[in-house]
Amino acid sequence: MSFNTFGKIFRFTTWGESHGPAIGCVVDGCPPNIKLSEKDIMIDMNRRRPGKSKFTSQRKESDKVEILSGVFQGKTTGTPISMIIYNEDAKSRDYETIKNKFRPGHADYTYFLKYGIRDFRGGGRQSARETAGRVAAGAIAKLVLKKLIGKNFKIIGAVTQLGLLSCDRNKWNENEIRKNPFFCPDKKAVKLWEKYLLAIRKAGSSCGAIIELRASCVPVGLGAPIYSKLDSDLASALMSINAVKGVNVGAGMNAAFLTGEENSDEMKSISGKTKFKSNNAGGILGGISSGQEIIVSFSVKPTSSILNSRETIDKKGKNTKISVKGRHDPCVGIRAVPIGEAMMSCVILDHYLLNRAQCS
Amino acid sequence: MSFNTFGKIFRFTTWGESHGPAIGCVVDGCPPNIKLSEKDIMIDMNRRRPGKSKFTSQRKESDKVEILSGVFQGKTTGTPISMIIYNEDAKSRDYETIKNKFRPGHADYTYFLKYGIRDFRGGGRQSARETAGRVAAGAIAKLVLKKLIGKNFKIIGAVTQLGLLSCDRNKWNENEIRKNPFFCPDKKAVKLWEKYLLAIRKAGSSCGAIIELRASCVPVGLGAPIYSKLDSDLASALMSINAVKGVNVGAGMNAAFLTGEENSDEMKSISGKTKFKSNNAGGILGGISSGQEIIVSFSVKPTSSILNSRETIDKKGKNTKISVKGRHDPCVGIRAVPIGEAMMSCVILDHYLLNRAQCS
Amino acid sequence: MSFNTFGKIFRFTTWGESHGPAIGCVVDGCPPNIKLSEKDIMIDMNRRRPGKSKFTSQRKESDKVEILSGVFQGKTTGTPISMIIYNEDAKSRDYETIKNKFRPGHADYTYFLKYGIRDFRGGGRQSARETAGRVAAGAIAKLVLKKLIGKNFKIIGAVTQLGLLSCDRNKWNENEIRKNPFFCPDKKAVKLWEKYLLAIRKAGSSCGAIIELRASCVPVGLGAPIYSKLDSDLASALMSINAVKGVNVGAGMNAAFLTGEENSDEMKSISGKTKFKSNNAGGILGGISSGQEIIVSFSVKPTSSILNSRETIDKKGKNTKISVKGRHDPCVGIRAVPIGEAMMSCVILDHYLLNRAQCS
Amino acid sequence: MSFNTFGKIFRFTTWGESHGPAIGCVVDGCPPNIKLSEKDIMIDMNRRRPGKSKFTSQRKESDKVEILSGVFQGKTTGTPISMIIYNEDAKSRDYETIKNKFRPGHADYTYFLKYGIRDFRGGGRQSARETAGRVAAGAIAKLVLKKLIGKNFKIIGAVTQLGLLSCDRNKWNENEIRKNPFFCPDKKAVKLWEKYLLAIRKAGSSCGAIIELRASCVPVGLGAPIYSKLDSDLASALMSINAVKGVNVGAGMNAAFLTGEENSDEMKSISGKTKFKSNNAGGILGGISSGQEIIVSFSVKPTSSILNSRETIDKKGKNTKISVKGRHDPCVGIRAVPIGEAMMSCVILDHYLLNRAQCS
C-alpha cells in the first residue's frame, strides 16, 4: 500500500500542502555510512525551486532543506532521514476568489468529490510544491548510487519539446542543459524557446512539454519481473508527477511503427564487452536493465491555472467561469526535469538494493 | 514488494513457465459472495489464447482454467482463488538450437545476467504465456466490478494502430472489435490490415501496434494520491505487459502540444450532472477518476523472435547470428488487447476497494 | 516492506533520535472529515510523557505535538498528517562516558554491528522516545474509531504485574487506572507498588512488568486471514515496542494448560444476541474479532540502563564494565501502557478499514 | 498488504481449503541457483503430515508436493516456485451434521460473520491443513539458509509442555526430538506423555501445548527496526499459526519477574569473540539478532473439535449443542513443531535478504 510513500527498500514519504506551514519528506531504508549534508541536497533543490527566472512561477521560496534525523556526524545511520522545508511565500488570499470553483483540467474537482473536503489554498496537497520532497529524496538516492556504483553513474534530464517547438535530440549537450533556463539540451533552440514562452505567458496561456531522462552506467540486472519491472516502476514513478500524461521507454509509442528487424537492438561482443547497435529498448529488456543507457521520456500537459477565462462549475454544481490570477508556471514541464531525475534516481537505487537482496 | 504479485487489496500472483507443466494465478482479496464459475473466466481466456487465426501464434492451447480454491457452491468465499492452466502444446525442442544464444530485443540476455540461470524453453518465465494468468484474474475483476458498480460498467480495448497502418478512432465500433481477428474498431481498416500482416509474416518479419482501452461508468473518486494515483498504477500495470514501451493517458504524449485553453476539459452542469466538453485528461485528474470515460493507450513493440537473421552473442560472449523458427505472433500487440483490459480491470477494482476503505 | 512504517491502510511512519532536534510521525491513509486538533492528541501524549512522577524518567519533555499538514479548518483532509515534537531536554553529555561501550541487554551492540555506525546519544533511534510518535498516531486512530464505531468503543490498558508484585485483575477499575502513577487497575495494590519501586530505584536496579489491554465494542469480522490475522498483527505491533518480550492473546501461554472443554468459549443466543460464557480466546477466533472484548497482554523486560555495574565489551572488543547514570525509568513497563493502547488502536482501525474494503 | 501472503523479499502465498481438490503454495523472491527437488521438501512435509501415529489426526494424506514452476534442471531460477498438494482423504460427509453449527472456540463463527459464506467442509480455509504450504515454503527457506549461511545453520523445535505435563528443557536432546511422536526433547518425559495423551483422547477431550524453537548460527545484524524487528516479525509469524495464543522471545512473559541485573545478558570478549553469560534476550536485542542462539516459544490452545458436547448456536442464531466426531488431533500443538520451524526459517531468511539489501 502506498498513498504517500514511494519505493520498496529505499522508500520515501512526502507530506504537506502548498500553503501549510511546511512540507517534508521522510527517507527510509537508506544504506548507512553514506556522507550526507544539507548542502548536497540543495544542489538539486535549487534546480527545481521556483522564482529563479521569468519562465517559472514568481513564488519566492528558498526551499532550504533541514535534516532532522538519520544523519550522525555527517553520515547516514540507516535510520529514517526526516527533512523539512518551510513554506515562506504562501499567498493564500490569491485563492479566495476561486475557492469554491473547480479549475478545469485541475484536480480541484476530483479531490473534492473523493474526500468531501480540500485545502483550496494554492491547490493544497495537489500542488506541484509536493515535488520538492521528491527532489530531496532523489538527491540522496543519487549520492548513494554514486557511492555504490561509482562516480561515472549519472542521471541527466532535459526538455526536448516545449509546446510546439522541438529541438535536436542529437545535439544533446549536458553543459548546455545546465546553462539555459529551460534545461534545453540544444543550444540552437534556446533563443526561439525564450520568445515563444514569453509570448505564451503574455497571452495568459500555457504550454506543455516533453522531458527526456538518461541514466548511464546502470549495471545490468536491475528490475524485478514480473510486476516490479524496472520500466513499469519508472512508468509509475513518472506518471505520478503532477500533470504527466505519457511515458515512453526507449522508442516508446513509436515502437509501434518499427519492424522486428529495426526494433531488435543487435548485439556484438567487442573485446569481451557486450555492445548494442542501437537502443530502441531504452536500456531495458524484459523489465531488467541491459547495461545500455536507460532512456525514458514523459509528457507534461500545459498548466491548468491560466489567466484566460474558462467555463466550469462551482462546489454547488452551478455553472460559472474561472480565470486564475495567482503565480503560475507558463510551462510546468520545465521544472519537471529535476523531479523526473529524482524519481528515476530513486527507482534505480531501489532496484539496485532489491537486486542485491535476491541475487547478490 | 511485488516480484510476481500485482495489486494492493485485490491482488493476484502469477507463476509458471512457457514450457513447464502448467501456469497459474492466485487471486487474493476478492470480495466474497460473488457468483463465479470457470465458464465466466473462459470468455476472456478465449479472446487471448493463441492458435485461433493465421495472425497469431500457431501454438494450440485450450487455456482451460481450473479453479482449485476460493469458490464454494458457485460463489467466492473471500479466500484465495487458485487457478491452474496446463500447458498442452509446448514444443521445447524448437528452442534447442537457440538455447545458448540471446535473441536481440528479447529478455534472454538480461534474465541470464541477472539470475545466472534461465529456463530457455519458449522463453521460460519471460514468455507472454504468463499473461494467461492475468487474463484469468482480470475476468474475475470484471465480474466483481459489474456486481459492485452495475451492469453498465464496461472495459473494452482495441488495436488502433497496426505497424504503419492506423484506423479511424472515431469509427470506434464495439461489435466490429468483437468480429475481426485484430480487435480493430474500424470496419474499413480490417481488409488492409489482413493483407499487411500476412505480408509481414511471409517476409519473416513482425510489426508493432498501439492498443487503446476505454472504461466507462467508473465512479468519480478512485485513485490514491500521491504514489498510487489511478494513472500511475495504470501506467505500471500496462508497462509490465511483455513488449510494451509506452503508455498514454488521455492526450498522452500529445498533451505537450496543446495550449492551456485546449487542454482544460471545460465543465458544465447539465440537469445537475457534471459534463465535460472534452476529455484530454482521459478521465483522470490529479490521479483520481473524474467520472468521465477513462481512456489509456499503450504501444507494443514488434515480436523479437523473427525468422530473419540478426547479429547477436551467445552465453560465452561469442559473436553469432540468430534466426528464430518456432511459432510466434507476427504482431504480439493483437493479443495484448484482452491482457490490457485485464490489467485495467484489476487496477480499477483495486482502487474501488481501496477508496471504500479510506473514503466510504 | 516496513522499516519505520506501520500499518496497511491507516499507516504511520516515525522518525527521529532521542537527542536529535526533533522526533515525529507521519500518519497516512486517515479517513477525511474527522475533527482533529493538537489538543485531542495531547491527552494521550501526557499519559506517556516522562518526568511526571518519581516513578519514571526525570527527563523533562512537554511532548507538545505540532500538526504540520493534513488538517484543514479543524478537519482531516485524507492527506498525510505530519506531526513534529521538538526534543527539549536532551543531555547528550550524559552519554559521553559510555559512548564506546555496549550496555548489556540493550540494542547498542546490535545497532552498531548491523549499521557500522550509531547515534549513541540517549540511545539514538533505539530510545523509547520513538514511541511518542506512536502515541500521537494512536490518538488519531482512537478518534477515528470513535467516529466510525461509536462512542462506546474504548481501549484501556493497565499494568497488572510490577516486577514480582501482581494485583487482582478482577478488581479492574478504570477510574483507579487513571488516578495512580502505575496505571494499576486495583486500588489495593498501589501502596505496595510504590514502596517496591522506590526500593528498586534506590538500589540502582530496575524491574519488568506485564501490561494488559482491553478493547470493547470492536465489531465482529475484523482481521484478515491468514497472514494479517488480527492477533498476529497485534502480536507484531506489541512486540515492536521497546523491551517487550512476550505477547498473549486471551488465555495466552496459559492456553497450553487448558482442556478442550475449558478452552472452548461456549456460545448462547440471548434475545437475539450472541453471548459467550467465557473469553479464553481474548475476543479473536481464527484471527478475526468475535465481538467479544479483545484482551491482550504483554511483558516488558527491566530497563537495561541501570546504575549497578555490569560486565560488557567496548567498540574495540575489549572487556570492560559499565554503570549507567543518566535519567532512566526504573520500570519502563509503566509508560508502555499508553504505547500499547496506541498500537492496539492503530491495528484495530487498520483492520476496520481493511474489512470495509473487502467485505462491506 | 498481505491476506494470504507472508514475507517481504522471500515471500510465499498459500491457497486451498481442507476439502477442496488441492492446496498449494507459491514461493516468490527465492534466490536463484539453489539446488532444489521435491525430495528436499518432503523431509519436513513428512514431519508435519497427519496419520502417522495414534497421537495425531487419522486423516491419511501423503502430502506429496509437486513443483510446477521456478525450478529448471534441478535449480531455482529466481522465478516463482509453485507447489501443489492434492487432498486425498477428505471426508466431507463428516461435516454434514455440523455444517450449520458453530464450533465454540473455532473460527466457524467469525468466518461466517465476516464473509457471509464459508466452506464448512473440514473447516475450509480455517483448517490447519493450510499449514502444509507453509512447511513446504519453510523447507525451501532452510535450504537457502544453509547455502547462504553455512551447514551449521540449524532450526529445531520441540514440544516442551504437553497440557499439564512439562519436561526438562535442560535435557534438550535433538536426537530424542526426532525419535518420539511428540517432538519431546527429554527422553524421560515421553512415556508419561503417551499415557496422558491417550487418556485425553479416550475421554473425548483435547489439550494444549507449548513449543520451543531454537535457531543457531544466525548472523548478527538481522532485523529491521522499528516495525520489522526480527522479534515482531517472528511474533506475527507464529501467532498466525492456527490455535496459537501466546509468543515468547527469550525470557518472554517471565521477563517481567527479573531485575535489571538478572535480565542483562552480560558480555565478554573471549579470544576476540563476543560471548554472552546468559540469554534472556533470546538472541534478539532492539529487534536485531545478536549472534546468540535465537529462542522463541509459543502456546497452542487445545483442539476445539472435541467429542464432548458443548453449548453453541447455529447459523440462524438458535441455541443448540455440538459434539464433533470427525478425525482430529487430540493435541494440535504436536504438529505445530515443524510449522513453527518453517515460519521461523522464512522470517530469518527474509531478514537475511533484507539486510543484504540495506547493509551489505
The DSSP secondary structure of A238-280, one letter per residue, reads HHTSTTEEEEEETTGGGGGG-BHHHHS--EEEETTEEEES--T
Q: B100: which chain D residues are within 8 Å (Cβ-Cβ)?
A: none
Task: Return residues 32-91 of D near C (CB < 8 Å).
Answer: none
Q: C17: which chain A residues are within 8 Å (Cβ-Cβ)?
A: 69-70, 72, 79
Please write the tens of the pLDDT for every residue from B263-281. Answer: 999 999 999 999 999 999 9
Among residues of chain C, what percentage have pLDDT more than 90?
Answer: 90
- Average pLDDT score, chain C: 95
Residues in CB range of C211: below 8 A, 6 or more apart: C157, C158, C159, C160, C183, C297, C298, C299, C300, C333, C336, C337, C340
CB contact under 8 A, A220 and B114: yes
Residue A326 clears pLDDT 90, i.e. is over it: no
Helix (H, G, I), strand (E, B) or coil at B62: coil
Q: Look at residue D1 in the predicted model and tell me its pLDDT.
A: 65
CB contact under 8 A, D245 and C233: no
Q: C225: which chain B residues are within 8 Å (Cβ-Cβ)?
A: 79
Q: How far is C189 from chain A (nearest CA, A)?
A: 41
Q: How far is B246 from chain D (nearest CA, A)?
A: 25
- Average pLDDT score, chain B: 95
CB contact under 8 A, C72 and A124: yes
pLDDT band with cut points at 50, 70 and 90 for residue B94? confident
Among residues of chain B, what percentage have pLDDT more than 90?
Answer: 90
Continuous segment of H or E residues that includes residue B130: none
- Cα separation, B286 vs B293, in Å, equals 15
- Cα separation, C126 vs C131, in Å, equals 10
Residues in CB range of B88: below 8 A, 6 or more apart: B60, B61, B62
Q: How far is D250 from chain B (nearest CA, A)?
A: 30
CB contact under 8 A, A5 and C11: yes
Please write the tens of the pLDDT for every residue from C173-223. Answer: 999 999 999 999 999 999 999 999 999 999 999 999 999 999 999 999 999
Q: Look at residue B126 in the predicted model and tell me its pLDDT.
A: 95
Task: Return residues 90-129 of B near A (CB < 8 Å).
Answer: 102-107, 109-111, 113-116, 125-126
Q: Look at residue A271 in the predicted model and tell me its pLDDT.
A: 94
Q: C12: which chain A residues are within 8 Å (Cβ-Cβ)?
A: none
Residue A33 grid coordinates: 555510512
pLDDT band with cut points at 50, 70 and 90 for residue C26? very high
CB contact under 8 A, B313 and A237: no
CB contact under 8 A, B253 and A306: no
Q: B228: which chain D residues are within 8 Å (Cβ-Cβ)?
A: none
Interface test with A, best of B102, B110, B118, B328 (most A CBs within 10 A): B110
Q: Look at residue C218 in the predicted model and tell me its pLDDT.
A: 98
Q: Which of A159, A169, A131, A137 is nearest to A300 (CA)?
A: A159
Q: Point out the least confidently predicted range of B237-246, C52-61, D206-215.
A: C52-61
CB contact under 8 A, A359 and D32: yes
Q: Given phi > 0 = left and psi -120 to 50 = alpha, else beta, which region is D182?
A: alpha
Residues in CB range of A161: below 8 A, 6 or more apart: A167, A208, A209, A210, A299, B256, B257
pLDDT band with cut points at 50, 70 and 90 for residue B2? confident
Residue with the larger pLDDT of the pair C265 and A59: C265
* Mean local confidence (pLDDT), B236-252: 98
Task: Return residues 299-338 of A near C (CB < 8 Å).
Answer: none
Q: How far is A147 from chain D (nearest CA, A)?
A: 13
CB contact under 8 A, D299 and C256: yes
Amino acid at B215: A
CB contact under 8 A, B11 and D32: no
Closest by Cβ to B358, choosing from C353, C358, C360: C353
Among residues of chain D, what percentage have pLDDT more than 90?
Answer: 90
Which residues of chain D fall below pLDDT 50? none
Q: At what angle do helices B230-239 and A230-239 cross, to 10 degrees?
A: 160
Please write the tens of the pLDDT for every residue from A4-41. Answer: 999 999 999 999 999 999 999 999 999 999 999 999 99
* Mean local confidence (pLDDT), C128-147: 97
Q: How far is B356 from chain C (nearest CA, A)?
A: 5
Residue C257 grid coordinates: 494448560
Most distant CA atoms of chain D, gap in Å? 71
Q: Look at residue B1 in the predicted model and tell me its pLDDT.
A: 65
Closest by Cβ to B15, choosing from D3, D26, D115: D26
pLDDT band with cut points at 50, 70 and 90 for residue C360? confident
Q: Which residues pair with D165 in a beta bridge?
A: D162
CB contact under 8 A, D1 and B14: no
Please write the tens of the pLDDT for every residue from A98-122. Answer: 899 999 999 999 999 999 999 999 8
- Average pLDDT score, chain A: 95
Amino acid at B240: S
The length of chain B, given as a count of residues: 360
Q: How far is B134 from chain C (nearest CA, A)?
A: 20
CB pairs under 8 A between C and D: 382
Please write the tens of the pLDDT for every residue from B99-151. Answer: 999 999 999 999 999 999 999 998 999 999 999 999 999 999 999 999 999 99
Q: Look at residue C68 in the predicted model and tell me its pLDDT.
A: 98
pLDDT band with cut points at 50, 70 and 90 for residue C63? very high
Task: Return residues 126-185 of A near B (CB < 8 Å).
Answer: 126, 130, 161, 163-164
3-state helix, strand, coil in chain B (%, to 5): 35, 25, 40
The whole model's pTM is what? 0.98
Q: How many CB atoms are located within 10 Å of the residue D319 CB?
A: 12
pLDDT band with cut points at 50, 70 and 90 for residue C348? very high
- Cα separation, C332 vs D260, in Å, equals 11
Residue B74 grid coordinates: 458457485
CB contact under 8 A, B357 and C354: yes
Please write the tens of the pLDDT for every residue from A124-153. Answer: 999 999 999 999 999 999 999 999 999 999
Q: B225: which chain C residues are within 8 Å (Cβ-Cβ)?
A: 79
CA B11 to chain centre: 16
Q: Look at residue D113 in the predicted model and tell me its pLDDT.
A: 97
Chains touching B (at least 3 CB pairs under 8 A) are A, C, D
SS (H, E, C) C6-40: ECCCCEEEEEECCCCCEEEEEEECCCCCCECCHHH
Chains touching D (at least 3 CB pairs under 8 A) are A, B, C
* Mean local confidence (pLDDT), C349-360: 97
Q: D233: which chain C residues are within 8 Å (Cβ-Cβ)?
A: 236
Q: In b/e form, how buried is each residue of D165-174, taking b as 16+ CB within 10 angstroms?
A: bebeeeebee
Interface test with B, best of A232, A265, A301 (most B CBs within 10 A): A301
* Mean local confidence (pLDDT), C294-301: 98
Q: Which of C40, C27, C134 is nearest to C82 (CA)?
A: C27
Residue C94 clears pLDDT 80, i.e. is over it: no
Please write the tens of the pLDDT for every residue from B146-202. Answer: 999 999 999 999 999 999 999 999 999 999 999 999 999 999 999 999 999 999 999
CB contact under 8 A, B82 and D24: yes
Continuous segment of H or E residues that includes residue C202: helix C187-202
CB contact under 8 A, D357 and A353: yes
Cα three-residue angle B230-B236-B241, rounded to 5 degrees: 130
Q: How many CB atoms are located within 10 Å of the residue A316 CB?
A: 8
CB contact under 8 A, B109 and A267: yes
Residue C266 clears pLDDT 70, i.e. is over it: yes
Residues in CB range of B178: below 8 A, 6 or more apart: none
Q: How many CB atoms are located within 10 Å of the residue A268 CB?
A: 15
CB contact under 8 A, C356 and B354: no
Q: C107: which chain A residues are within 8 Å (Cβ-Cβ)?
A: none
Q: Look at residue A1 in the predicted model and tell me its pLDDT.
A: 65
CB contact under 8 A, C125 and A26: no
